[in-house]
C-alpha cells in the first residue's frame, strides 16, 4: 500500500470517527445542563391587559350551580351549570334547564365556598331561573348590566363559566350573528337570541356573555353541535330580555305569559294551504280573542278560521311573530290584529292577558 493510499484511508477513518462522535461532542459543547436564563418578554399587549382585567373583575361574581336530584341524604347530581350574581341580596341567575329537575341546589362561589340556594323563581319560556343564596358568608359584587339593543356582529364577546365542571374558564370570540330564534322547554321561542363563536360547552349554561367593557350582554344557554361539544356556534339569551324577566322572578317567582287566547295551526299547515299568515285553529272560551270575535276553524263545515296577517302593523308569519309583539305590549294592554277572513281584511282590538295563570 503506497503512502497516498494510507493518507486517504487515514483521513477517511478520522472522518468516520468524527461523524460517529458528533452527537457526543455536540452534547458536551452545547447541552444546557443548568436552568436557562429567562428572556424578558416586555409588556403585555393592550388587548391582553384588557382581557385579563375583565376576567379578574367579573370572575369573582361567576358561580357554579349544582342541581341535586334528591333530599339531603342523596348526592347524585341532576345537573351542573353556571350562574352569576345579580344583586347584593344574593340572587343568582342561571338557566332554567340547569335546575328544573333539582330537589336541592348548591352554589359554589369563586372563593370555593359552597352555599345552599333556594329557587326564587323559574321562567321556562325564557330558559331563565333565579336562585337565592341561603345565609351566605358574603355576596360577591353583581355583574354590571349592559344592553343588547345596540350589539353589532363582529364585536368582541367573552364567556366565563364552568365547561365540563372546569370552573372559572374564560373563552373569547365575537358576536357572529344576531336575531336568532331559540325554542325553549316552555313551548315558545326566545327572540333576538345572540349567536357567538366564543367557546361554549356543557357546563357553561347559565353563565354570562360579556362585552369588552365587562358588562352582561347575554346569558349563555345552548350550543349547536351534533357531537354535544363545542362546534363553533353558541347562543345566549339577550340581556334586555333577562333584565325584564329576572326582576319579575325575584318579585313574584313567575313571569306573566302574555296571550290573547288562541290556538294556532302549525306552520306546515299554513304552508300546505299556501297561507301567508298565522291560521287560528281555535279560540279559547272566555278569553279576549273570543270576546273580540276572532274565529277559529269551523270543524263541522271545514271552513278555515281567521288568518292573522299582522299585529300592531308588524307582519305575522308564525306564532313566534305574534308572541314577540304580545310580550313587548305586555299584559293589560291591547293589540290590534289584522285578520283575513273569507278573502277580506278586517281589524280587531284584543286585550292582552296573562294566560300562564289558567
Q: Is 291 exposed, middle or buried (0-12, 13-18, 19+ CB in 10 A)?
A: middle
- Please tell me which residue in 97, 148, 192, 321 is annotated as part of the active site: 97
Q: Give strand ranges (E) for 3-155.
A: 62-68, 77-85, 91-94, 104-108, 114-123, 128-133
143 torsion bin: left (phi>0), alpha (psi -120 to 50), beta (else): beta
Catalytic residue selected from 127, 167, 211, 321: 127
* Known catalytic residue at 91: no
Q: Quote the CA–CA distance of 62 and 50 in Å, as a whole number.
A: 18
User: What Cα–Cα distance (Å) separates residue 45 from each residue in 52, 172, 215?
Assistant: 11, 16, 22
Angle at 17 between CA 14 and CA 18, to 5 degrees: 85
Count of CB atoms within 10 A of residue 28's CB? 9
Residue with cell 333577562: 242
Let me know: does 280 contact 308? Beta carbons within 8 Å.
yes
Which of left, alpha, beta for 165 (phi over 0: left; psi -120 to 50: alpha)?
left
Which long-range contacts does 316-322 make (Cβ < 8 Å, 24+ apart)? 316/277, 316/278, 317/276, 317/277, 317/278, 318/267, 318/270, 318/278, 319/264, 319/267, 319/278, 320/181, 320/188, 320/189, 320/191, 321/278, 322/264, 322/278
DSSP label of 126 = G
For residue 334, indicate whether it is catalytic: no
Q: Is 20 helix (H, G, I), strand (E, B) or coil?
A: helix
Backbone phi, psi, residue 13, to 5°: -65, -40
The active-site residue out of 148, 205, 321, 324 is 205
Instruction: Map grid coordinates 299585529 to a residue.
Output: 311
- Residues annotated as part of the active site: 97, 127, 205
Amino acid at each position: 500500500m503506497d503512502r497516498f493510499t494510507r493518507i486517504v484511508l487515514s483521513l477517511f477513518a478520522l472522518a468516520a470517527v468524527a461523524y460517529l462522535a458528533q452527537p457526543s461532542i455536540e452534547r458536551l459543547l452545547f447541552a444546557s445542563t443548568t436552568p436557562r436564563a429567562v428572556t424578558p418578554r416586555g409588556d403585555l399587549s393592550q388587548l391582553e391587559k384588557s382581557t385579563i382585567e375583565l376576567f379578574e373583575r367579573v370572575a369573582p361574581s361567576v358561580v357554579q350551580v349544582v342541581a341535586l336530584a334528591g333530599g339531603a341524604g342523596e348526592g347524585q347530581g341532576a345537573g351542573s351549570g353556571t350562574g352569576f350574581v345579580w344583586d347584593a341580596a344574593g340572587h343568582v341567575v342561571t338557566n332554567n334547564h340547569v335546575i328544573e329537575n333539582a330537589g336541592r341546589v348548591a352554589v359554589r362561589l369563586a372563593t370555593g365556598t359552597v352555599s345552599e340556594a333556594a329557587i326564587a323563581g323559574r321562567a321556562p319560556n325564557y330558559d331563565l331561573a333565579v336562585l337565592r343564596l341561603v345565609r351566605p358568608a358574603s355576596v360577591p359584587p353583581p355583574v354590571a348590566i349592559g344592553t343588547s339593543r345596540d350589539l353589532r356582529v363582529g364585536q368582541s364577546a367573552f364567556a366565563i363559566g364552568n365547561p365540563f365542571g372546569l370552573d372559572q374558564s374564560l373563552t373569547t370570540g365575537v358576536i357572529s350573528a344576531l336575531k336568532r330564534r331559540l325554542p325553549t322547554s316552555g313551548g315558545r321561542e326566545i327572540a333576538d337570541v345572540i349567536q357567538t363563536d366564543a367557546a361554549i360547552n356543557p357546563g357553561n349554561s347559565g353563565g354570562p356573555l360579556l362585552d369588552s367593557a365587562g358588562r352582561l350582554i347575554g346569558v349563555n344557554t345552548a350550543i349547536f353541535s351534533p357531537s354535544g361539544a363545542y362546534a363553533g356556534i353558541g347562543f345566549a339569551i339577550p340581556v334586555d330580555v333577562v333584565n325584564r324577566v329576572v326582576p319579575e322572578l325575584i318579585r313574584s317567582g313567575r313571569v306573566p305569559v302574555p296571550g290573547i287566547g288562541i290556538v294556532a295551526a302549525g306552520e306546515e299547515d299554513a304552508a300546505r294551504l299556501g297561507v301567508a299568515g298565522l291560521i287560528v285553529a281555535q279560540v279559547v272560551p272566555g278569553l279576549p280573542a273570543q270576546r273580540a270575535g276572532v274565529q277559529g276553524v269551523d270543524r263541522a263545515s271545514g271552513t278555515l278560521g281567521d288568518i292573522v296577517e299582522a299585529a300592531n302593523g308588524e307582519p305575522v308569519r308564525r306564532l313566534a311573530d305574534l308572541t314577540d309583539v304580545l310580550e313587548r305590549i305586555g299584559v293589560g294592554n291591547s293589540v290590534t290584529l289584522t285578520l283575513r277572513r273569507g278573502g277580506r281584511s278586517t281589524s280587531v282590538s284584543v286585550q292582552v292577558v296573562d294566560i300562564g295563570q289558567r
